[in-house]
Chains A and B, each alone.
Chain A
């Protein structure tokens, strides 16, 4: 009984212990599986789950034909793992130090811009102190030390092999890429450039900045469970978000034309040594910018060439007083609205005219001439008189209808809208000055667009520099934005103003240097005084703008020289020859057939020369006759005075008698 009892007690104890044990297990299970499930599952997942971020590549920039202008060059970054270098040799600090020194020396010898001491210092730093949110300091192992960045792909590949051979531990190579500008200075100010902040591109200016959103790649990620060796376990679920490369940008620029413009601009700079120069070539029908160049410029691959002068984008950001190249807009408006006809006579006052208390001068003394001659000889007074006749409101309408005071719509930021005061802020002088390009500031792009409007018959067209953006099959074409209604109400206005502008490059015009064999060239010169410290200076913007062939223009070309220091300062002499050189080569590139044979063209030129000569003879004869009449009057007056003194009356005597009497005396 006693035995039985003690067994029963022991069994009861065992039961109790078992129940307690099971109870404890149940409690732990409840805690692990239910109460703390999410927390523990998350922790477990973290230990065997890896998340990798993948980065796409930034979009590249091409010209219209697909020639690369801005690309990505694969490079490699070389990084060290200081903690791992030490771990391998942790028993022997001296040996580790030797290894670090060896690695540093090796990369200094084989890579550009690597300083051995600096790399050694970074590799030797095996740990660092970090502070958490509570300010508690903890010592952490250092696993990342940059040895070299942006190493050329071929060099990095060779180094990788060597590192393997030399068995350097804790050195790894990671792929990266850098922005490359294979055409160096070509179109540099338009393309712009980027800086790199960690692994992000920061656009600075130009297309790189204005189309940054489209060109930026979308990062993707991959979340997967890994095996013990770190490789992804393929038979369990993994999540991935795709990486999207940035859009590639295709510009409207034609690289061969761009090369022509840049080359000729360089020659012009050698010839006239200006402070700056620029040229724009635009298709007047679509507003496509075919080429755009400026000097000084910079090489985006060599940031040492960048200065505030060379890096500024003058084409879209600079607003200058244009000078005489504004005249065709005013005259075309006056012709269109019927204020004048090409044959209306304007008195250009022989070069000096006073209006609103201020004198206005012409560079040549021009008398009474038809409107055609006002443009041909670029008379300030003639244009101002037409403008005054039109009135301020019409002048304002004229200039605004050609897009002055508004942006051109080009995909370049920032872009100036120029300085063009609203009508209510005009003073009494404005009407006679805005029309000759004084008191108004416009950008080179605005001028190019306004001439496109003359060339295409008065249709307002937005300038385009981006033709399309592409990413694989996703192609987005930038539309041509052109108004369907011409600003010219009279269909003959275009022909009338074009004929006047053709005269500029013919005998007697202000720029015969811009004439091209076989073509009619419509153009206009402009020589604008630069405003320095609020006053007109003796420095000039010498411009020539025109379109060829005049009857069916293939392009509008603007060439401007900022302050030419050698030779003539006039637009016709400084920029005209460059216009001709660019236009000739462009016509050949575009395969434009000459309108006239050499003989026809020469015949036209000599006819114009002859007409000019005849006109000059007529004018000289007229001037001579006027002079003689004036002399006669003077002599008669003198004779009267003499007669008064002597007391005789000579009024009734003929001039010949007076003359003979004078001779007799």
Chain B
């Protein structure tokens, strides 16, 4: 038996006189309790973390699935858009509705005038105000050409 397990009625010769001694059992229980609490906390934390991870993973899967679905829908719409945009389709609509579309011709421009300063776009195009490019070689299709 060591000095901690040995029962004796005599006071501890090394103890300070006048001070109350905590029984060693209480200390042991306290330490064990603390250890249990720490272990339980760690265990709980781990379980909680796993649970949280699972939840997040499920959430991630759900969002991934949704993204995938949206992508699929976008792909389908792109395919439809490209089919509608094809010249075959446009040409058939031109013929169907007898649209008076013709290819551009330089002679259709009757006169040209270069605006100086600010130019207001018509209201149906947003009515924004922009400065006309008066430099040489400016885009001929800008507001400066009528």
Residue of B nearest to A73 (CB): B79
* Interface set, chain B 72-114, CB cutoff 8 A to A: 72-73, 75-76, 78-79, 82-83, 85-88, 91, 103-106
Instruction: Give the number of residues in B that approach A within 8 Å (Cβ atoms).
Output: 25
Q: When the two chains form the complex, which single residue of B50, B85, B103 contacts A235, counting CB atoms closer than 8 Å?
A: B50
Shortest distance in angstroms between A129's beta carbon and chain B's nearest beta carbon?
A: 38
Question: For B82, what are the chain A residues with a Cβ–Cβ distance below 8 Å?
Answer: 67-68, 71, 182-183
Given A71-B79, A235-B53, A186 contacting B72 (CB threshold 8 A): no
User: Does B36 interact with chain A (Cβ within 8 Å)?
Assistant: no
User: Does B57 interact with chain A (Cβ within 8 Å)?
Assistant: yes
* Interface set, chain B 42-58, CB cutoff 8 A to A: 49-50, 53-54, 56-58
User: Does A203 interact with chain B (Cβ within 8 Å)?
Assistant: no
| B72 adjacent to A74 (CB under 8 Å) | yes
Shortest distance in angstroms between B95's beta carbon and chain A's nearest beta carbon?
A: 12
Question: For B73, what are the chain A residues with a Cβ–Cβ distance below 8 Å?
Answer: 153
Question: For A186, what are the chain B residues with a Cβ–Cβ distance below 8 Å?
Answer: 86-88
Shortest distance in angstroms between B51's beta carbon and chain A's nearest beta carbon?
A: 10
Shortest distance in angstroms between A414's beta carbon and chain B's nearest beta carbon?
A: 28
| A153 adjacent to B72 (CB under 8 Å) | yes
Given A183-B86, A234-B57, A263-B87, A594 contacting B106 (CB threshold 8 A): yes
Shortest distance in angstroms between B68's beta carbon and chain A's nearest beta carbon?
A: 8
Residue of B nearest to A233 (CB): B54
User: Does A239 interact with chain B (Cβ within 8 Å)?
Assistant: no
Shortest distance in angstroms between A403's beta carbon and chain B's nearest beta carbon?
A: 32
Tell me the complex Cα distance, A255–B87, Å.
9
Q: When the two chains form the complex, which single residue of A74, A184, A588, A594 contacts B103, counting CB atoms closer than 8 Å?
A: A588
| B79 adjacent to A259 (CB under 8 Å) | no
Instruction: Give the number of residues in A that approach B within 8 Å (Cβ atoms).
Output: 28
Shortest distance in angstroms between A183's beta carbon and chain B's nearest beta carbon?
A: 4
Q: When the two chains form the complex, which single residue of B54, B58, B88 contacts A183, counting CB atoms closer than 8 Å?
A: B88
Residue of B nearest to A74 (CB): B72
Given A153-B73, A263-B91, A234 contacting B53 (CB threshold 8 A): yes
Tell me the complex Cα distance, A234–B61, Å.
12
Question: For A183, what are the chain B residues with a Cβ–Cβ distance below 8 Å?
Answer: 82, 86-88
Tell me the complex Cα distance, A186–B88, Å.
8
Tell me the complex Cα distance, A175–B75, Å.
13
Tell me the complex Cα distance, A19–B54, Å.
46
Q: When the two chains form the complex, which single residue of A73, A154, A184, A585 contacts B75, counting CB atoms closer than 8 Å?
A: A73
Residue of A nearest to B55 (CB): A234
| B88 adjacent to A74 (CB under 8 Å) | no
Shortest distance in angstroms between A159's beta carbon and chain B's nearest beta carbon?
A: 15
Question: For A185, what are the chain B residues with a Cβ–Cβ distance below 8 Å?
Answer: 88
Question: For B53, what are the chain A residues with a Cβ–Cβ distance below 8 Å?
Answer: 234-235
Shortest distance in angstroms between B120's beta carbon and chain A's nearest beta carbon?
A: 27
Chain B proximity mask over A561-589: 1 for CB below 8 Å, otherwise 0: 00000000000000000000000010010
Shortest distance in angstroms between B66's beta carbon and chain A's nearest beta carbon?
A: 14
Question: For A263, what are the chain B residues with a Cβ–Cβ distance below 8 Å?
Answer: 87, 91
| B88 adjacent to A184 (CB under 8 Å) | yes
Chain B proximity mask over A253-265: 1 for CB below 8 Å, otherwise 0: 0011001001100
User: Does A411 interact with chain B (Cβ within 8 Å)?
Assistant: no
| B104 adjacent to A588 (CB under 8 Å) | yes
Q: Tell me which of B56, B82, B103, B106 has the highest count of chain A C-beta atoms within 10 A of its own C-beta.
A: B82
User: Does A438 interact with chain B (Cβ within 8 Å)?
Assistant: no
Shortest distance in angstroms between B143's beta carbon and chain A's nearest beta carbon?
A: 18
Tell me the complex Cα distance, A153–B76, Å.
8
Given A183-B86, A186-B86, A186-B87, A232 contacting B57 (CB threshold 8 A): yes
Tell me the complex Cα distance, A594–B106, Å.
10
Q: When the two chains form the complex, which single residue of A71, A154, A594 contacts B78, counting CB atoms closer than 8 Å?
A: A71
Q: List 9 A-B contacts (CB under 8 A).
A: A67-B82, A153-B73, A182-B86, A184-B88, A186-B86, A234-B54, A234-B56, A235-B50, A594-B106
Interface residues, chain B, with chain A CB atoms under 8 Å away: 49-50, 53-54, 56-58, 68, 72-73, 75-76, 78-79, 82-83, 85-88, 91, 103-106
| Interchain residue pairs A-B with the least CB separation, the first 6 | A182-B82, A259-B87, A74-B72, A234-B57, A68-B82, A182-B83
